[in-house]
């Protein structure tokens, strides 16, 4: 009997399985938005100081970061993690953002909010408006810092991944969130801030992120990493082992996914012939496992008539779902339509 039980258990365990203790998490490809891993990605939870990603986005998009900010009494009630700025102290908005992201300063958050919008309530309104623009459909902000004893900010792993993806289109945010150390001198004192995100030092592929913790929310972490041109976003919510979980997720996904160039706009060439009379505006690449590469189809639609030099469309299907579409243009050279069509089809059929 024992022999049969042992054989049966071995039979049920698949090879190359991946298990990680991650109840509320997601890993997204930053460039395409493809979800590579998720568990309970849409569960609404308290998000603690990962809130400050949105605080930084609103500040960056609405103000000159080199403007000077005079700190007011709004910082006096702040508790938890602070950078310990004082009323009457003068810092640049940029320095406040470093204090916000690197040290998770709650006092920096309220000072930024008041400076940008005039009041905390008006700033929170901007945060929620931006969340709607980004289709963060399960997110509500009530404050700019993430403390949750009086007011609570709720979101999901998926929504925070969307936010981080957008934030990484802002050069200032990318630079700040990936900084390990920042020094500041004000009219009152000097500071030396080290990034609280330990993964920046412990995982060599990490490029930035934001930590968070309250007793109610637990440990939260939103990070970005880059390896072999594969740029990923990871979100882990309410997990005491958030650093280890993210490292395991990144390492696993980097081991099975590669970014594959499917369409190269700069190399419309086949059999040593370059088609200079046709062009497209964008290249397209996509994260795929080795097994998934056979699931990609490139399709060309050719128009009967030229419209504004557009002679057709190229689109990419992955498992019969469209993931990319782009116009094909003529540079104005007069060609027979059949000739153009044959060139397009011949070239793109050569890719696969």
- Which residues are designated catalytic? 49, 52, 104
Contact of 101 with 144, CB cutoff 8 Å: no
Token readout for 204 is: 């060599």
Contact of 330 with 309, CB cutoff 8 Å: yes
């Amino acid at each position: 009997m024992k022999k049969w039980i042992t054989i049966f258990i071995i039979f049920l365990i698949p090879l190359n399985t991946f298990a990680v203790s991650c109840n509320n998490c997601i890993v997204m490809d930053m460039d395409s938005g493809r979800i590579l891993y998720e568990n309970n990605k849409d569960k609404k939870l308290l998000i603690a100081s990962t809130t400050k990603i949105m605080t930084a986005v609103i500040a960056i998009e609405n103000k000159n970061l080199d403007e000077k900010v005079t700190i007011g009494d709004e910082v006096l009630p702040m508790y938890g993690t602070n950078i310990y700025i004082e009323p009457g102290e003068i810092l640049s908005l940029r320095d406040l953002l470093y204090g916000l992201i690197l040290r998770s300063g709650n006092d920096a958050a309220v000072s930024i909010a008041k400076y940008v919008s005039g009041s905390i309530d008006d700033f929170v309104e901007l945060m929620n408006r931006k969340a709607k623009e980004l289709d963060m459909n399960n997110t509500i902000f009530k404050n700019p810092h993430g403390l949750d004893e009086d007011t609570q900010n709720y979101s999901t792993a998926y929504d925070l991944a969307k936010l981080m993806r957008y934030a990484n289109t802002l050069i200032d945010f990318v630079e700040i969130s990936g900084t390990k150390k920042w020094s500041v001198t004000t009219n009152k004192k000097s500071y030396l801030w080290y990034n609280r995100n330990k993964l920046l030092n412990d995982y060599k592929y990490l490029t930035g992120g934001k930590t968070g913790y309250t007793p109610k929310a637990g440990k939260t972490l939103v990070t970005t990493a880059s390896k072999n041109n594969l740029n990923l976003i990871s979100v882990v919510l309410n997990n005491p082992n958030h650093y280890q979980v993210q490292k395991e997720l990144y390492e696993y996904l980097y081991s099975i996914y590669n970014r594959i160039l499917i369409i190269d706009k700069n190399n419309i060439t086949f059999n040593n012939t370059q088609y200079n009379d046709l062009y497209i505006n964008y290249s397209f690449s996509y994260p795929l496992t080795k097994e998934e590469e056979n699931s990609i189809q490139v399709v060309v639609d050719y128009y009967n008539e030229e419209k504004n030099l557009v002679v057709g469309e190229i689109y990419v299907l992955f498992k019969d779902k469209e993931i990319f579409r782009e116009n094909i243009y003529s540079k104005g050279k007069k060609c027979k339509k059949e000739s153009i069509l044959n060139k397009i089809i011949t070239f793109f059929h050569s890719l696969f």
